[in-house]
A and B are shown apart, each in its own frame.
Chain A
């Protein structure tokens, strides 16, 4: 019999509790600091609120992608389908039924979830390259349907005529984007904390378990297929929220909402930040969009070179994304000593 020693752990129980409280406090402080940064940006960059609002919306979309890709390990290049569904859902609702922002937000989220559920029923049976191709196909089909229904959706001209009512009948969407920014920030904070609770629950552990080994999860009683459909539907709900906020804040929805470029960029943002950590979605999106914005304003024709180089460096040197950087640095410093 091979000898396997168990490490002494007498004091672990005593030291673990304060360490857990300390970690919880640190995480809470980080969350509060992030909210503080969001509020501070409102005052520091009053002339760039439109751009920063776009960042916040993209963070919501990338968070929804993190749930399926980072946690459940479902690779998709068609996440824009769910974003676009939410955007058109909220936009059409505002044009034809009610311009109430919160009602529209709910409609956008539900439309995103319905599209995710229906497409998820067959997508979640596929794997690998087949799955990637099918996710792209779903986005293309939806884009074409919206394009064909020109009389209702505006087709390639985009959906015009969205004029949102004030939030709670009080806070009107203004030209400078102040209300839109605070609205998007509030939605992001709610989505982020809801996702934190979800991924820390047994449901989140189950998603990670499926990512690690679907056959093992089946053997411990998890109906993997239906759970994946469920995760994809929740992700669609959140992506739909991102789309709805985008439609309401910009008061315009175009076919690009279903575009492959949006899906691919969301994936790049997530890979840059780090998969399966939520915070990675925030960091990756902010870095990608700021670099994109800066590079494009310096050289409008070659900005992709900068983005491409950055992705190459990160993937090669820090495959865990920017979230993995502190651990890498610590190891490197230890090695230097």
Chain B
């Protein structure tokens, strides 16, 4: 498969990824390694928190959004990392059993400090299976330029 390069991306390009179903084991495994707060690990502690029941780490949701974008929605794009993101908001908890999808729109394309790469601005919205927005961000991936790849 030929990758799509920075020059091939059209501003306004939009799509929806496939789904990823969050499991209780996955929530706990992520939390044990990266976010061991009681409301991500323990049912009883979660019931007394603002989440009301066992909820995934917000960082797991960001990581899953990245997975859906890199390995699904934009898997044909020559992504070489990212500058970061702006305006990330955790709008609702993610619970075991939720199936997440990511809607994305390319809103801008800019030069970077390295002539071999351009930077996209991608509006990414993660939704659960009820269609509720759980997270949103403006993601800033670097994409290789075709001219540098010849």
Partners in one complex: no
